[in-house]
Amino acid sequence: MIQKFFSCFLFILLSAVLLALPHQALAFDVFFNAQALLQLNLRGKPPMSVLLSGPVQVQGGETVGINRTGPRSVATEILSMNLNGSDPQGLAVNLNSSRSNRSIGRVEEKSKKCPSALQCPANSFFDVFFEIQMMTQLPNNAARPAFFDVFVNHQPAHLEAVVGSLMNLKGVYRQNNPVKLYPLDQEVSITQSDGSVGTAKLLLMLQRSTESPVGL
């Protein structure tokens, strides 16, 4: 009788643990050594490519799909991005996270029959909103400080990559189609000319600080 009771108790306990697994919260590291290639096509300027580097902080949400028919997936988000470089003229270019829009994503296992969240490759994407700060003149004294133009995207830049697993988001994220850029302080109405100043296309490499930089 006692043995039967403990068997039932263990069954209930294990069932509760398994039911809790689909909602297990996940968190990811800061990619201190992230690199990016930013391709800009701005009106009145020749096309340019800018190499950037700096930290990118990514957070994971809850796993879904465990004990279900579909593959497991995790909601993700780029919490912060601070990439710096310079244009062909040596003027500073900064790529930062948008202050008004979140950069949401998701990572999903490629296989429906994966024994562990650490073993199966996964498809990962982010819909990225950013701010591009571009220096337009070099500071040489207090009377002539540095001046920056700031551009934003109103439609997200969709970046995709195949990564090692649900728990390993490092990889090269590619954007297939460029997005339009707008001045930061400009209000845009769908009933008027969009007022864009050019386009941007981003290639983002997420890698950890302990790894050697990889050229883009």
Convert the pLDDT of each residue in 154-202 to its tens digit: 999 999 999 998 888 999 999 999 999 999 875 433 323 678 899 999 9
Cα 63 from Cα 61, distance rounded (Å): 7
Q: What is the pLDDT of residue 211?
A: 55
Selection from 49, 131, 145 nearest residue 94 by Cα: 131
Q: Kindly tell me if the per-residue pLDDT of 14 is higher than 90.
A: no
DSSP helix/strand/coil, 176:
coil
Convert the pLDDT of each residue in 15-49 to its tens digit: 343 334 444 445 567 899 999 999 999 988 899 99
Token pair in block for residue 107: 């990572």
The domain spans of the chain are: 23-206
Q: What is the pLDDT of residue 76?
A: 94
> Which residues touch 191 (CB under 8 Å, ≥6 apart)?
none
Q: Kindly tell me if the per-residue pLDDT of 79 is higher than 80.
A: yes
List residues bridging with 152 in a β-sheet. Answer: 131, 182
Most confident listed range (15-19, 105-109, 133-137):
105-109
Q: Kindly tell me if the per-residue pLDDT of 112 is higher than 50.
A: yes
Q: 81-112: buried (b, 16+ CB within 10 Å) or exposed (e) per residue?
A: bebbbebeeeeebbbbbbeeeebbbbbbbeee
